[in-house]
Amino acid sequence: MSMPRLPLPSRDGPAGTRRWYQHAVFYEVLLRGFYDSNNDGIGDIRGLHEKLDYLQWLGVDAIWLLPFYPSPMRDGGYDISDFFNVAPDYGTLTDLSRLLDDAHRRGIRVVSDLVMNHTSDTHPWFIESRSSRDNPKSDWYVWNDDDQRWPEARVVFTDVERSNWTWDETREQYYWHRFFSHQPDLNYENPEVADTMVDMVKFWLELGFDGFRLDAAPYLFQRDGTAGEHLPETHDFIKRIRKEIESNYPGRVLLAEANGWPADVADYFGDGDECHLCFHFPLMPRLFMAVRKEQRYPITEILSQTPEIPDGCQWAIFLRNHDELTLEQVTDEERDYLISEYAKDDRMKRHMGIGRRLAPLLDGNRRLAELLYSMVLSLPGSPVIYYGDELLMGDNIYLGDRDSVRTPMQWSPDRNGGFSKADFAQLYLPPVMDPVYGSDAVNVEAQCRNPGSFLHWLRGMLIQRRAMPVLGVGTMEPTACPNPSILAYVRSGEVADAPVGSSPWGTMRPIGEGFGGGTFGRPPAPPSVVPVAAGEQDLAGQRTQAVLCVHNLSRFAQPAELSLPRWSGYTPVEVLGRVPFPVISDEPYTIALGPYGYLWFELVREPPFPEEVIG
């Protein structure tokens, strides 16, 4: 494909560098559910393109695009029947190329989902492979005469599949699949398969994608006597892709979907020569556990088991995504607890987890949603926001499998929530219509108009985060506090100098007016004070930045006596209001937090003058 590609805008600051992903906020888009530009009831590429204004306004740095490839759609598009094309329902390669160009023009990167482990059973490769034992593709999938090989490998979708082997009548052999039986695994022992997948990677990088989320990364290879996960051969193959990126596509990234224990997942960073990012799966359920138990230990415990990662690598942290809230990485007891707290109705259970969106999980409690986002935006890692969660959209537990959390984006109170002008019956899924979360009550247009909305709050937090690059790359130092409901830590480190409150990306992004019938409104006023930050400012424009983040996980007000001896003599300046708090001494530093309260302070040596604060 030789389509003209726009270079990424050259930007100063961290996001303009090859390590942009360490400062990025990702936004996960289900194409099918985002916006329907041609009114056929299915979201499409042009629809997403039309909504780039919105994403730019929201302030996200990168889109993670869920699979858009031709597919029979028996697993949300993760069952691919052609790796080198776009599903006709979504548009064309030209539409995609235009989307990428325009996103790049706006400084937004786009990462695609790369499903390397398996195909749909309707893929021509599999149809050929299953047709006989001696066709040219006979060895492209994993075949066996019996279904007894690799008994140690677990079944992922335990509620719907009984085995990882399925009998094929035509070939009279079993084929291997780690997910649904209609998703046969490719055979990576076959060099033709591996080479073809590398060609596929290059194809999409040439089109302009900024990287990939590597679906089902741990399962590429199998080996006798193992569980068939995280094998060295799998790591070698991913490293091969990384090499290709380093040689020919610098600045593009790999994000691993490897649902495992932190120590196993950290292997996907290699020695800084494998994936740039990995999702931190075990942290996610523990955030939900901590706020329900009103105790910090589930979070601190998993963080203490999270190894150091190589320079240039980054965790990706999230609250919800397009799958169930997975409970694979918790103990049986913890799983029972989370199910009893968050899935009181059996219909809420999906696979090994809970098929609900963020807001209903939290009983619509906005303070709690802010608290959880405050942690996701300030813990070490790059935050990933699931589409609609910026509105606190609801779910539909009466839909099958994970469709409960894949309903149409709610743009306005208009027909079909402003998602599509198709007849209701034509929509790929019904929009949420209940009185609490339906599009009459929850939609972009209304929240844009209301400066007090969750959408505006989150946008404001993204602006604040951008002004504190240390939240992307700084170290995390837990702050001792006798109250177990308080989670506090200091993020600190050297950052490229940028005035506090201005964007390290350059100028603040433009504000769209009148979008979708609503008004985006003005951004929160940037802080008017540029305090002298902690540490000396050196001639190369590097300075130390330190941010103290304090969270009250309890539903009641709580005192926090923080032990901050290292920061004695510094002034905590609350980042939203730029209000200086009393200077830290050698004594415990006491503050009070309201129910589910959170506070971020920049620690500065010289407090700002009071008149500057008022400004």
Q: What are phi and psi of 218, to 5 degrees?
A: -70, -10
Of 36, 44, 61, 75, the residue at the interface with ligand NOJ (CB under 6 A) is 75
Q: CB of 495 within 8 A of CB of 17?
A: no
Distance, CA of 526 to chain centre? 26
Smallest gap from Cβ 284 to ligand NOJ, in A, equals 13
Q: CB of 381 within 8 A of CB of 280?
A: yes
Distance, CA of 2 to chain centre? 31
The full 3-state SS of 334-397, as one line of letters, equals HHHHHHHHHCCCHHHEECCEECCCHHHHCCCCHHHHHHHHHHHHHCCCEEEEECCCCCCCCCCC
Q: Looking at 75-83, 91-99, 197-205, 408-416, which segment touches ligand NOJ (CB under 6 A)?
A: 75-83
Q: Which two tokens stand for residue 305?
A: 């088991």
76 scored as a contact of ligand NOJ (CB under 6 A): yes
- Residue for token pair 């530009």: 37
Q: Looking at 72-80, 341-349, 454-462, 516-524, which segment touches ligand NOJ (CB under 6 A)?
A: 72-80
Smallest gap from Cβ 45 to ligand NOJ, in A, equals 20
Smallest gap from Cβ 156 to ligand NOJ, in A, equals 8
Smallest gap from Cβ 157 to ligand NOJ, in A, equals 8
User: What is the rounded distance in angstroms from the CA atom of residue 441 to the CA atom of residue 545?
Assistant: 40
Smallest gap from Cβ 67 to ligand NOJ, in A, equals 8
Q: Looking at 17-25, 71-79, 166-174, 285-293, which segment touches ligand NOJ (CB under 6 A)?
A: 71-79
| Residues forming a β-bridge with 544 | 494
Smallest gap from Cβ 91 to ligand NOJ, in A, equals 21
Q: Which is nearer to ligand NOJ, 50 or 328 (CB)?
A: 328
Q: CB of 95 within 8 A of CB of 35?
A: no
Please enumerate in sequence order all residues whose Cβ is within 8 A of that of 236, keeping only pairs 6 or more positions apart, or say none.
Answer: none
> Computed from CA positions of residues 429, 430, 434, 438, in that sequence, does the dihedral angle turn out positive or negative?
positive
Q: CB of 68 within 8 A of CB of 90?
A: yes
Q: Which is nearer to ligand NOJ, 119 or 416 (CB)?
A: 119
Q: CB of 104 within 8 A of CB of 49?
A: no
Q: CB of 121 within 8 A of CB of 180?
A: no
| H-helix or E-strand spanning residue 550 | strand 542-552
Smallest gap from Cβ 24 to ligand NOJ, in A, equals 20
- Using left for φ > 0, alpha for ψ between -120 and 50, and beta otherwise, residue 270 falls in left
Q: Which is nearer to ligand NOJ, 401 or 440 (CB)?
A: 401
Smallest gap from Cβ 249 to ligand NOJ, in A, equals 24
Residues 322-341 that bind ligand NOJ (CB under 6 A): 322-323
Question: What is the dihedral angle through the alpha carbons of 459, 465, 467, 468, rounded to the nearest 10 degrees?
Answer: 170
Q: CB of 217 within 8 A of CB of 257?
A: yes
User: What is the rounded distance in angstroms from the CA atom of residue 442 to the CA atom of residue 395?
Assistant: 12
- Tell me which amino acid residue 578 is: R
Residues 151-210 that bind ligand NOJ (CB under 6 A): 179
Q: Which is nearer to ligand NOJ, 320 or 491 (CB)?
A: 320
Burial environment of residue 344 by CB neighbours within 10 A (0 to 12, 13 to 18, 19 or more): exposed
End-to-end CA distance of the chain: 54
| Residues forming a β-bridge with 110 | 63
What binding mask, one character per residue, do residues 448-487 give for ligand NOJ by CB under 6 A, x or -? ----------------------------------------
Q: Shortest Cβ contact with ligand NOJ: which residue?
A: 78
Q: Which is nearer to ligand NOJ, 175 or 454 (CB)?
A: 175
Residues 93-122 that bind ligand NOJ (CB under 6 A): 115
User: What is the rounded distance in angstroms from the CA atom of residue 185 to the CA atom of residue 121?
Assistant: 10
Q: Which is nearer to ligand NOJ, 79 or 602 (CB)?
A: 79
| H-helix or E-strand spanning residue 212 | strand 211-215
Sheet holding 173-176, edge to edge: 143-144, 173-176, 165-168
354 scored as a contact of ligand NOJ (CB under 6 A): no
Of 64, 78, 279, 520, the residue at the interface with ligand NOJ (CB under 6 A) is 78
Least Cα distance to 474 among 485, 465, 484, 486 occurs for 465
Rg (CA), the chain: 24
Distance, CA of 514 to chain centre? 28
Q: Looking at 42-50, 73-81, 410-418, 471-479, which segment touches ligand NOJ (CB under 6 A)?
A: 73-81
Which are the catalytic amino acids? Answer: 215, 257
Q: Which is nearer to ligand NOJ, 16 or 285 (CB)?
A: 285
Q: Which is nearer to ligand NOJ, 178 or 509 (CB)?
A: 178
Q: Which is nearer to ligand NOJ, 256 or 432 (CB)?
A: 256
Q: Which is nearer to ligand NOJ, 114 or 550 (CB)?
A: 114
Q: Looking at 70-78, 242-250, 331-339, 590-598, which segment touches ligand NOJ (CB under 6 A)?
A: 70-78
Residues 210-269 that bind ligand NOJ (CB under 6 A): 215-216, 257
Smallest gap from Cβ 361 to ligand NOJ, in A, equals 18
Smallest gap from Cβ 252 to ligand NOJ, in A, equals 21
Q: Which is nearer to ligand NOJ, 49 or 213 (CB)?
A: 213
Smallest gap from Cβ 202 to ligand NOJ, in A, equals 22
Q: CB of 55 within 8 A of CB of 27?
A: yes
Applying CB under 6 A, the residues found at the interface with ligand NOJ are 75-76, 78, 115, 179, 215-216, 257, 322-323
